Every structure is written in structure tokens, then in C-alpha cells.
Amino acid sequence: MDRNHLLAMLRDMLRARAFEEAAAQSYAQGDIAGFLHLYPGEEAVAVGVLHASEPGDYIVSTYREHVHALVRGIPARALMAELFGKKTGVSSGLGGSMHLFDRERRFLGGYAIVGETFPIALGAAYAVAYRRLPEAVICFFGDGAVNQGTFHESLNMAALWKLPIFFVCENNHYQIGTEIHRHSALTDVYKRACAYGIPAEQVDGMDVLAVHGAAQRALDRVRSGDGPQFLELTTYRYRGHSMADPGTYRPAAELKAYEAADPIAAAIHEFSFQYPSGQLPQDCLQRFTEHCCTAGQVDEAAIARLRQEVQAEMDDARQFAKESPAPSLEDAWAALTRNHRLEILMEGVGA
Amino acid sequence: MSEWLYWQALNRALDAELAADDSVFTLGEDVGLYGGTYRVTEGLLAKYGEWRVRDTPISENSFTGLGVGAAMLGLRPVVEIMTVNFALLAMDAIVNMAAKIPFMSGGQFPMGLTLRMPGGVAKQLGAQHSQRLEAMFMGVPGLRMVVPSTPQDAYWQLRQAIRSDDPVIVLEHELLYFSKGEVDEGASAPPIHQALLRREGRDLTCIAYSRMVQLTLLAAEELAKEGIEMAVIDLRSLSPIDWKTCADSVNSTHRCLIVEEDCQFAGAGAELAATLQEQCFYLLDAPIGRVAGLPIPTPFNGDLEAASIPRVEDIVQAARKQLGQSKGVSR
């Protein structure tokens, strides 16, 4: 991988972390309401996978999708404004944190009902195959989603018709507050794909380079017509399920980490929970930063500059969101009826 | 102009849209090789191939969701759900996805999705296969629903539904598939949600939809023999509802009777009665009446099944009651 690509990935990981921390601050200040599901800890997954994707690919994501959207190229301003419920948001303030959509960037949405990303990806991939295009559909989901019926229904159809879907499981080991060994009979999620004859692999989701390499291989196979591919990425979220979740079900060391000034650094040093590998997961961001430094790609000063730029971008996004206007009820009605176009529903009633 | 069966009208409408637009495809259980449970997709697989006429596994939620995802990319999927009862397994795809995505995305994504499904009480299919459920879909903003009662409407409304960029449910009726009617393919269609006055009448207005329109027209014949002239409105659409056609008629007859096969409690008739009394209150001579299915799961026994939904005689009686008479009338 060349230096520019490495730096682009590092930059996106820093942006991802900074965006989510900025969102958390805005939530704490009351600028963001409702549910807010944050991504810190899992950045290597989104960055590794999406840096292996093409602009022609489609992305389907969950309610923890800010970072997928950000790395996909949606401006931080439009994303933050959506979290604030503003008209300038990517979904015009009508979707919110869990429903980010961007047709132009082929971002097919964040879905807030667990297991919905499978059939949406299935349909998008059907349309791609129907038109015989060399595009792929990337379907994100968590370990909790694999116990929904749609997982099995959709994997079956994807394999049956050899649809171009790349299934990406972000296994953070918790479905909301229930740890994987208490919700799944089989804790190696990738093994479930074998039931449908879909090639599957389990990769360390805290290692962005490993994620990127595996995603690249899988996407190559999808694009060459080999049918669906499946990748399980083992990862961890440092925060609770959502901002409303104190995370009391998790080890005390984690809670202590939240209280620390720098939760990430604290988490790295104080984790004591049983990670599947038996070792503490090193923060993916710190790990990748160290890798880049050791390999001589960047130095501490360059990283400090990068952090400053990224922080400025997120400060600007918050400012933009705060100052943006709210959507009106007219905007809401317009969104609901936009698809009518010139269609006449009945005499005397406008289209 | 020729005489077609209801299923043939649907079949030809689908055929015409598949031929006219490459982005149209249909999928569902047994729609391909088998030709559709009610023959609606007969002959289409041979003509259009498996990518456009797709047999699916029995996975309602995911193949309906497949339609949603494909519609987001601009295709026009026609999803056949074998019966409305199975749509309950696809409610997440219908309610949480199809109805919400165009709106939640700020209007970015079209949803040219058509959902075909038959409902209604047929012939002793048991409680799980005899539901109507239209009131459930009426309660979901973002969904539209048409309820054709004739082969001509089935033909027009399916074609219009497929061409729409909104999600449209085409609620068919199991007992209508083999009913006959004139179909003029060349005639220009009324707007998809326009209600139609099927029979003129000065004494009262009866509003019905789907199979109940046929029964209501028979009841109107009976009543005419007694000198009661009952106007019959075929709603043709339950979401949205053509209030103007309904209110214009009720305002001229001053009496309104609503006939629905679905259960009365919180049903389509409740919405009709509530809104029409708001619009027509000062011109009504009697409270709006309702004839509806009983609030019980459909019994298997044939006699009980028949008694659980409106019959022609029930409509005749209710119309007489509207006019303040329990028997024949002389005016």
C-alpha cells in the first residue's frame, strides 16, 4: 500500500473518532436528542472496508452508521446537521442519526430495525445483477443481527442467485447489553455463512490493514461474479450501546475508562474483559498510528497536525449544524409526496 | 372491448408493463414455473425469463425487502405475496422500510414498489387464511392501497400502481379472481384513487369496496324492486380515499351506509363514517350505518363462515333501516 493511501486511511480513522466525540459532546450539551449510537473502537472496520470499495458500490448500514457515511465521503457538515435534525442534514433533518441516506454517494441508508440491512442489500444486489453491472453491495450488520430471520432468508437468496453482496459483520460482542456467548449458540459468526455455501473469513477488526486486505479480496471475488462473500470482523465498541446506555453490564474497568479524561487511552491500559483472543484489544487507532510511525510513513508532528485539522473539521461541522435552519412542516410534506411527481391521484386533488 | 376474468386482467396488465418497461420485474412464491397460485403470472416466465419473473423461497419478509432495495435503485418490482395473511410476515419490509424510506431519506429515494396480495374470506380456508387486514395498512402513512372490484379496474389499477413511484398495495380478493367483466384496454383510465359511482340513486348512498361492491349492487337491485333507489359508490382505493365523490353523493341523498367485509371495530368503515359525518353532518338525515364482518376469527364451518361476513340480505336490511323502515316501502 502506498504512503498516500496509508495516510488517507489514518486521516479517516482520526476523522471517525473525532466526529463521534464531537457528536457525544453535542449530545451532552443538548444539541442532539434521541438515540445516538457511537462507533469509537470500531473505526478499523469502516475504514478498512470502505477504503477497499469503489464509488460505484452501494453501502447499506445500521443505526451505528455515522462513520460509514463519513468515510463514504458524505461531508461532516451534512452528517452533523442531520444528527441535529436540521434542514441542511443529509436526510433533510427528517431521518436523524439512525437514518442517514445519500443517493448520490450510493449510501442506501442507516436502518434502525436490527436485521433490515440484509433484505435491502439483497434488493440492491438484485438490481445490480439484473442490469449486469460490475458493482458490489456492501452490507454492514452487527453480531446481534445474525439471529434475525432476515439474516438466514437473505443469505439463502443471495447465494441461490449468486448476488454481488459483501456481507460485513461488525462483531463487537454485544447485542445492545447481551454478550455474544449469551445470545448465540455459535460465537464464531462467520461459520454461519457456511450453511449457505458462502465463502467466509474471520479477521481481526482492530487491525485496519488486515481488514482492508480481506475486504479487497472479498470485493474482487464479488465483482468477478463469484457471488456473495462474508467477512466477520471482531471488534469492540468503547461506549455503551447508545448515549442512553450507561453500559452497566460491562466490566468495571470499562466504566472507569469512560470516566477518564481520555477514554480511549484509558481503555487501552485498563481493559480486563475477556476478549476472544485472550488478549486485550489494542485501540485500532493507536495501533495503526504506531504502525505508520514505525514504518516511517509519518512522524509525531505530522500526526499532531492531522489531529488538529480533523478537530477543526468537526468543530466546523458542529458550528454549521448549530446555525442551520430547521426543516419546516412544508418540507416534511414535500418529502412525503415528492414521488408523486405528475401523478394524479384523483380528480380535484393535486399530485 | 372483450370479456376477461379478473385474474386474466391482472395477468395482461402485468404482461403489458413487463413489455413496456425493462425496469419492471415480478417475484414471489410460485410466480414462475407454476404460473401463480391464482394464475396471475401464467406464461410470463417463458416470455420474460427468470430475472424478470422470479420464483422465491418462502421468505416473505426478505423477498418483500428485496423489492424495497431494488426499488431504491430505480427498478419497479411487483412483489406477489401469496395471500394477505402472509404479509404479516413481511410487515417490517412493508411498514418499516417501504413506507418510511422515501420520507426518512428526505425524499431522495423513489419507491416504485407494487405489492400484490389477495385477501378476504374465500371458501372455508380457515381463520389463518381468511383475513382482510386492510385497516392495518390504512394506518400506515406512506403506503397507498387500491382495492379493485372489477376486471377493468384490476387491469387499470395494476398498471397504474406499477408506474407509480410510491409504494402501492394492490389488494385483490380471492373470490374475485374468477369473476368476469368487460375490459377495454384502450380506454383511458380514471386516476388510480378515484372512486366511481357504480349506480345512481336518490334515497341513500352505499359505499363499498372490493368484493362487497358486487353484493351491494345486488342489494341495490333488490331494493329497487321496493322502490328504494340506492346509489352505490365503489371506493376503488382505501388510501388515499376519494372523499369528494363520497361526500357529493351523501350530501345529495342525505343518508349513508358503509359495507365492508373486514371487521367493523376500528375498520375502514370507521374511518369513512367519522370523516363523512365531519363533512356531511348538517345534510345527514340519519346516523351513518355500517354493515361489516363480525369481530371473530373466521370460523371454518361453512354456514358460520357465511354468517361472519355481510350478505346481500344484510345490506338490504340495513338500507331499509336507514330509511326508517324494516320492510318494504311505498313512497
Residues of A in contact with B68 (CB under 8 A): 119-120, 123
Residues of A in contact with B108 (CB under 8 A): 91, 101-103
Task: Show the cell assigned to A77.
Answer: 457538515
* Confidence check: pLDDT of A351 > 80: no
Q: ipTM for the complex?
A: 0.95
Tally the domains of chain A. Answer: 1
Question: Out of A60, A93, A119, whose CB is closest to B62?
Answer: A119
Q: Where are the beta strands (DSSP E) in chain A?
A: 58-61, 107-110, 137-142, 165-171, 174-175, 178-179, 200-204, 229-234
Distance from CA of A117 to the nearest CA of B (A): 9
β-strand partners of A232: A169, A202
Q: How many CB atoms sit inside 10 A of residue B327's CB? A: 7
Distance from CA of B99 to the nearest CA of A (A): 10
State pTM to two decimals.
Answer: 0.94
Domain extent at residue A147 = 3-340
Tally C-beta pairs within 8 A across A and B.
174
A122 touches chain B (CB under 8 A): yes
Per-residue pLDDT of A283-335, as tens digits, reads 999 999 999 988 888 888 999 999 999 999 999 999 999 999 999 999 999 99
Contact flag A116-B65 (C-beta cutoff 8 Å): yes
Of A218, A233, A109, A84, nearest to A164 by C-alpha is A218
Per-residue pLDDT of B33-57, as tens digits, reads 999 999 999 999 999 999 999 999 9
Q: Are B105 and A103 in contact (CB under 8 A)?
A: yes
Taking the C-alpha atoms of residue A31 and residue A147, their distance in angstroms, rounded to an integer, is 35
β-strand partners of B80: B28, B116
* Confidence check: pLDDT of B30 > 50: yes
Distance from CA of A306 to the nearest CA of B (A): 32
Per-residue pLDDT of A172-221, as tens digits, reads 999 998 999 999 999 999 999 999 999 999 999 999 999 999 999 999 99
Per-residue pLDDT of B263-306, as tens digits, reads 999 999 999 999 999 999 999 999 999 999 999 999 999 999 99
Buried-exposed string B131-147: b where 16+ CB fall within 10 A, e elsewhere: bbbbbbbbebebbbbbb
pLDDT score at B327: 46
Contact flag A157-B73 (C-beta cutoff 8 Å): no
Per-residue pLDDT of A209-218, as tens digits, reads 999 999 999 9
Taking CA atoms, what residue in B is nearest to A338?
B107
Residues of A in contact with B64 (CB under 8 A): 119
Contact flag A154-B65 (C-beta cutoff 8 Å): yes
Contact flag B110-A340 (C-beta cutoff 8 Å): no
Per-residue pLDDT of A94-122, as tens digits, reads 999 999 999 999 999 999 999 999 999 99
A63 touches chain B (CB under 8 A): no
The reply to whether B60 belongs to the active site is yes
Q: Are B144 and B193 in contact (CB under 8 A)?
A: yes
Per-residue pLDDT of A39-84, as tens digits, reads 999 999 999 999 999 999 999 999 999 999 999 999 999 999 999 9
> What structural domains does chain B harbor?
2-183 (3.40.50.970), 196-322 (3.40.50.920)
Angle between helix A43-50 and helix A3-28 axes, rounded to 10 deg: 140
Structural element, H or E, at residue B263? strand B256-263
A162 touches chain B (CB under 8 A): no
Residues 6 or more apart whose CB falls under 8 angstroms from that of B259 comprise B206, B207, B208, B212, B215, B216, B269, B290, B291, B292, B310, B315, B318
pLDDT score at A240: 81
Structural element, H or E, at residue B180? strand B180-183
Residues 6 or more apart whose CB falls under 8 angstroms from that of B274 comprise none
Question: Out of B25, B108, B193, whose CB is closest to A130?
Answer: B25
Mean pLDDT, chain A, rounded, equals 90
Taking the C-alpha atoms of residue B104 and residue B68, their distance in angstroms, rounded to an integer, is 14
Least confident piece of the model among A237-241, A342-346, B45-49, B260-264: A237-241
Contact flag B97-A90 (C-beta cutoff 8 Å): no
B270 Rama sector, left if φ>0, alpha if ψ -120 to 50, beta otherwise? alpha
A328 occurs within a structural domain: yes
Q: Which residue carries 455503551 as its cell? A: A240
Task: Show the cell assigned to B327.
Answer: 320492510
A349 occurs within a structural domain: no
A107 occurs within a structural domain: yes
Angle between helix B268-280 and helix B243-253 axes, rounded to 10 deg: 60
- Given pLDDT bands bounded at 50, 70 and 90, which one contains residue B183? very high
A18 occurs within a structural domain: yes
User: Which of B56, B75, B105 to probe the A interface (max A CBs under 10 A)?
Assistant: B105
Per-residue pLDDT of B213-257, as tens digits, reads 999 999 999 999 999 999 999 999 999 999 999 999 999 999 999
Amino acid at B114: T
Contact flag B108-A347 (C-beta cutoff 8 Å): no
Residues of B in contact with A328 (CB under 8 A): none
pLDDT score at A271: 38
Taking the C-alpha atoms of residue B174 and residue B151, their distance in angstroms, rounded to an integer, is 13
Contact flag A122-B192 (C-beta cutoff 8 Å): no
Residue B131: φ, ψ to 5°: -85, 165
A348 occurs within a structural domain: no
* Confidence check: pLDDT of B111 > 80: yes
A132 touches chain B (CB under 8 A): no
Of A139, A178, A175, A173, nearest to A41 by C-alpha is A173
A346 occurs within a structural domain: no
- CA dihedral sign of residues A43, A44, A45, A46: positive
β-strand partners of B183: B2
Contact flag B107-A339 (C-beta cutoff 8 Å): yes
Q: What is the DSSP string of B57-77?
A: -S-HHHHHHHHHHHHHTT-EE
* Confidence check: pLDDT of A259 > 90: no
User: Which of A61, A102, A130, A324 to probe the B interface (max B CBs under 10 A)?
Assistant: A130
Q: Which residue carries 504506531 as its cell? A: A290
Residues of A in contact with B112 (CB under 8 A): 339
Taking the C-alpha atoms of residue A264 and residue A269, their distance in angstroms, rounded to an integer, is 9
Distance from CA of A221 to the nearest CA of B (A): 22
The CATH number for A332's domain is 3.40.50.970
Contact flag B66-A123 (C-beta cutoff 8 Å): yes
A52 occurs within a structural domain: yes
Q: Which residue carries 482492508 as its cell? A: A212
The residue from B3, B17, B50, B60 that is catalytic is B60
Residues 6 or more apart whose CB falls under 8 angstroms from that of A349 comprise B240, B242, B244
Q: Are A51 and A67 in contact (CB under 8 A)?
A: no
Burial of A330 from C-beta contacts in 10 A (0-12 / 13-18 / 19+) = exposed
Residues of A in contact with B166 (CB under 8 A): 339-340, 343
Distance from CA of A96 to the nearest CA of B (A): 8
- For B179, the 3-state DSSP assignment is coil
Distance from CA of B93 to the nearest CA of A (A): 8
Contact flag B191-A345 (C-beta cutoff 8 Å): yes
Taking CA atoms, what residue in A is nearest to B96?
A113
Beta-sheet strand order (sheet of B237-239): B53-55, B24-28, B76-80, B114-119, B168-173, B144-146, B237-239
* Confidence check: pLDDT of A278 > 90: no
Amino acid at A189: V
- Given pLDDT bands bounded at 50, 70 and 90, which one contains residue A350? very low
Q: Are B306 and B241 in contact (CB under 8 A)?
A: no
